[in-house]
Amino acid sequence: MKIDNSNATLGTGPRPQTTLLVTETPIEPDLPYETHPLADLSVEALDEYDVLWMHCESALDDAARQRLAAVGGELTAFVADGGGLLLTHGAVEAAAELGIEAHEPDSVGRVDADETGFLVRRLFEDHPIFGGIDGLRPNGAPATDAVSVHYDSLHPNDADVLAARRDDGTDRPNLKSLLCWEVGDGRVVGVGHGLAALQTDVQETLLDNCLAYAAGEGSDPRTVGRSKGREEFEAMREAVPDANHRPAYHFTPPANWLNDPNGLVQWNGRYHLFYQYNPAGPFHDSIHWGHAVSDDLVHWEDEPIALAPDPDGPDAVGVWSGCFVDDEGTPSVMYTGGDDGDQLPCLARAEDDSLRTWTKAAENPLITEMPADVDVLQSIDWRAEFRDHCVWRTGETWYQIVGSGIEGEGGAALLFESEDLLEWEYCHPILTGDWRKTGPIWECPELLRFDEGSLLHVSDYSKVAYFSGEYDEAAKRFEPEDHGVLDHGVFYAPQSFAADDGRTLMFGWLKEDRDREAQWDAGWSGAMSLPRVVSLAADGTPEFSLPTELEALRETHHSFSDLTVSPDGTNPLADIEGDTLEVKMTVDARNVGEFGLVLRETPDGEERTVVRCKIRHREVVVDRSQSSNSDAAADSSDSMPLTLDEDGTFSLHLFLDRSVLELFTNDAQALTSRIYPTRPDSTGVGLYADDCEVTVRSLDVWELAATED
């Protein structure tokens, strides 16, 4: 579906002929509209108007609510028959009163700012409501004393959020304040602030546009709402392309925000990837479970949102991370519900094998009391840091570990057991860390079992720490023998599942490494790693390989053997270019100082990312000091240790996907990095040697296909 914004210049068009302005009190300045007080609203006379504009300078009081309740049916019918309704400031609350929106806005108050304006979503920048208004941060206006209404932690159920707020030069993406609904044949527009005094051109244009749009002018972009299907998601992808940075073969959200992978499973042969998703924009808030499916781990198709916060439920603030559970054939998920200072386990069951429709258990939340014999860490936000789940069954007993932290000790994976997945009894931590080494809180703990031993990994806010050793089934405790870092870059909160063929496949969230404003401007944030096949070496070290399915991405192939790279500056890869590449090589590193690979280089060398293999220091460094001309992008180096095989060689396997760089050495050490070149000609590739000749025993470069454009 194509988004058609061809009619996007309403600001210059005529105003709707007939507008009835309904207010509680007269508003400034005088406007050329017939005005009635809300108390005198005569619904019989509404037919004469194209659009009704309801403005309230304060929150709705009881009298206003009663009046709205009395006329609500007729007003909704007026809109459903094709009428337009503009709700400004306090009147945005009327949407819930009229049944146009399932949720009340969650903040009604005065703006505490000298200057306030709009923060337009990239997804909607071409929406007719912004016709004649430039940029995502159009000029702000002095604050007024009028009430401001917005949805913050909640995401409205039925509306498109077109813009949030910007106060005193600061983006406030979570204050969702410009909304559109469709009701039957009519349109409703809600603007929570900034239209009281109409001091600026932007405000006047916006008002004209809102009235005209509500009256039915301008095409409707129809990317709308939050519970939509594949076509709408495709339209969203088209609306926020970000061609230089958005990965072409890594999974990314259709638009908006993605974090952790959740509920991973291969069910009836299909791979299901759920993920933490905010439909309100590219920032972390009002978290839902997004959903995508694949038959081959390479091509992913968007499914409708699987789980949404329930404003009256234990997950009102967010449906956070969780895992898949096969409850004797019933597909289920255990997730964390966030609500009012609590993070509590909840269960949902799928109603069909497509895993599209989920019913939350009536018993939610399942664990309401923190264990008495551990001092679970509190924080400003949470009565107890207690979230994320890994569930398994041994014999007839269900077990789960929950991520947490113990006061004064460190991150912990707390073990619970249950007979029915609903009633849980606390056991003890299977492992507690030292806060000085692996942080005070562990998120997303996962216990993986292999023939060679067990692997427990936890995300400690900065990195993914792993412990390898044995899980003692009798004592129900993890006995670590070794520990390390699963990935030395931005790979975070990974989750794994056993594929039908026995492979353990792991996905992780690849965080952005550019500032929040740049993420807002791009309109999307967060990528999923490639699936990694995880195993344990005989000595207990985790190892990674890439699923052979990914070879389907390979197109043009460049192959070299026994290639000599000299410090004379000749680049043997001068003929290759691209921003979606796979590189695989084995290097003879005896007597070598530094050798490396240059990626995303402009012809003049202004932008370039250098993978420096510093052999003497036994280190691989991703040097991002010249990766991007933009100040918004991080330019610090990422690094990981390098070990050489006994014969003095090492292997490097690398996937470049526009802003994503996934790097593996010896199939064991991993480093994922993010780069944001600004120039379209940042596509050069090179090899260099610093202080002596280097022999590359084998080198394969594939140009990879895009699965997303």
Q: What are the catalytic residues?
A: 260
State the minimum distance, in angstroms, from the CB of residue 284 to ligand FRU. Answer: 6
Total count of residues recorded for the chain? 709
Which of 182/512 has CB closer to ligand FRU? Answer: 512
State the minimum distance, in angstroms, from the CB of residue 320 to ligand FRU. Answer: 3
State the minimum distance, in angstroms, from the CB of residue 336 to ligand FRU. Answer: 5
State the minimum distance, in angstroms, from the CB of residue 424 to ligand FRU. Answer: 18
Q: How far apart are CA 576 and CA 558, in angstroms?
A: 8
Phi-psi region of 12 (alpha: psi -120 to 50; beta: other; left: phi over 0): alpha
Q: Does 389 bind ligand FRU (CB under 6 A)?
A: no
Q: State the CB neighbour count (10 A cutoff) for residue 287.
A: 28
Which of 259/695 has CB closer to ligand FRU? Answer: 259
Q: Does 443 bind ligand FRU (CB under 6 A)?
A: yes
Alpha-carbon radius of gyration of the chain: 28
Closest C-alpha among 221, 248, 207, 197 to residue 87: 207
State the minimum distance, in angstroms, from the CB of residue 322 to ligand FRU. Answer: 8
Closest C-alpha among 32, 97, 27 to residue 55: 27
Q: How far apart are CA 677 and CA 602, in angstroms?
A: 9
Contacting residues for 504 by C-beta, under 8 A, at least 6 apart: 448, 450, 496, 497, 498, 533, 534, 535
Q: How far apart are CA 213 and CA 694, in angstroms?
A: 65
Q: Which of 166, 245, 387, 503 binds ligand FRU (CB under 6 A)?
A: 387
Q: How far apart are CA 37 and CA 25, in angstroms?
A: 7
Which of 306/615 has CB closer to ligand FRU? Answer: 306
Q: How far apart are CA 197 and CA 200, in angstroms?
A: 9
Which of 16/411 has CB closer to ligand FRU? Answer: 411
Q: Give yes or no for a cis peptide into 247 (omega within 30° of 0).
A: no
Which of 320/324 has CB closer to ligand FRU? Answer: 320
The letter for the amino acid at 87 is L
Applying CB under 6 A, the site for ligand FRU has a residue count of 13
* Contact characters 451-490, ligand FRU, x per CB under 6 A: --------x-------------------------------
Q: How far apart are CA 518 and CA 152, in angstroms?
A: 21
**Contact assessment for residue 276 and residue 262, using Cβ atoms and an 8 Å cutoff:** yes
Contacting residues for 525 by C-beta, under 8 A, at least 6 apart: 253, 256, 257, 258, 282, 283, 512, 519
CA triple 214-218-224, angle to 5 deg = 75
Which of 247/322 has CB closer to ligand FRU? Answer: 322
Which of 205/276 has CB closer to ligand FRU? Answer: 276
Helix spans in 81-224 (H): 94-97, 201-214
Q: Which of 177, 276, 495, 665 binds ligand FRU (CB under 6 A)?
A: 276
Q: Which of residues 300-359 bind ligand FRU (CB under 6 A)?
A: 320-321, 336
- Tokens 């007597």 sit on residue: 591
Q: Which of 23, 153, 209, 259 binds ligand FRU (CB under 6 A)?
A: 259
CA dihedral sign, ordered 7, 11, 15, 20: positive
State the minimum distance, in angstroms, from the CB of residue 707 to ligand FRU. Answer: 25
SS (H, E, C) 31-55: CCCEEEEHHHCCHHHHHHCCEEEEE
Q: Which of 27, 236, 493, 701 binds ligand FRU (CB under 6 A)?
A: 493
State the minimum distance, in angstroms, from the CB of residue 461 to ligand FRU. Answer: 8
Structure tokens at 128: 């007719």
State the minimum distance, in angstroms, from the CB of residue 319 to ligand FRU. Answer: 9
State the minimum distance, in angstroms, from the CB of residue 552 to ligand FRU. Answer: 30
**Contact assessment for residue 300 and residue 248, using Cβ atoms and an 8 Å cutoff:** no
Helix spans in 343-406 (H): none
Q: Does 287 bind ligand FRU (CB under 6 A)?
A: yes
State the minimum distance, in angstroms, from the CB of residue 234 to ligand FRU. Answer: 25
Strand segments, DSSP code E, in 460-589 are 464-472, 477-485, 491-498, 504-510, 524-525, 527-528, 532-536, 542-545, 554-565, 580-588
Contacting residues for 352 by C-beta, under 8 A, at least 6 apart: none
Q: Which of 101, 182, 220, 260 binds ligand FRU (CB under 6 A)?
A: 260
State the minimum distance, in angstroms, from the CB of residue 44 to ligand FRU. Answer: 50
Closest C-alpha among 563, 598, 559 to residue 578: 598
Which of 104/260 has CB closer to ligand FRU? Answer: 260
**Contact assessment for residue 662 and residue 669, using Cβ atoms and an 8 Å cutoff:** no
Which of 321/332 has CB closer to ligand FRU? Answer: 321
Which of 209/259 has CB closer to ligand FRU? Answer: 259
Closest C-alpha among 271, 257, 370 to residue 305: 257
Q: Which of 298, 444, 573, 654 binds ligand FRU (CB under 6 A)?
A: 444
Q: How far apart are CA 312 and CA 18, in angstroms?
A: 39
State the minimum distance, in angstroms, from the CB of residue 335 to ligand FRU. Answer: 8
Structure tokens at 522: 């791009």
Q: How far apart are CA 628 and CA 616, in angstroms?
A: 28
Which of 108/465 has CB closer to ligand FRU? Answer: 465
Which of 11/322 has CB closer to ligand FRU? Answer: 322
What is the CB-side half-sphere exposure of residue 678 using CA atoms within 13 A?
Answer: 10
User: Which positions touch ligand FRU (CB under 6 A)?
Assistant: 259-260, 276, 287, 320-321, 336, 387-388, 443-444, 459, 493
